[in-house]
Amino acid sequence: MTAALAALLALHGGDGRLELTYFWSAILIVLLPTIVFGTIGVLVFRGYLRRDRRDEGGDQPSSPALDR
């Protein structure tokens, strides 16, 4: 097993450009979902706070459909 691993590492070489591409793709894979879901979370939270302020805790308006 060790000889096979050593042979694979010898064939791989050490291409710096390819390793840099792998590095930036890993960074993109981590940051993209974090930024997207973080932005969605912030927008939902801001919408929640904005709705809460507009409501001001008063009585809910009654609807004729709910009075049955």
CA 66/CA 8 separation, integer angstroms: 72
pLDDT band at 51 (very low <50, low <70, confident <90, very high): confident
pLDDT one-digit tens code per residue, 8-50:
777 766 788 888 999 999 999 999 999 999 999 999 999 998 8
How many angstroms separate the first and last alpha carbons of the chain?
A: 77
pLDDT one-digit tens code per residue, 53-64:
665 666 666 666
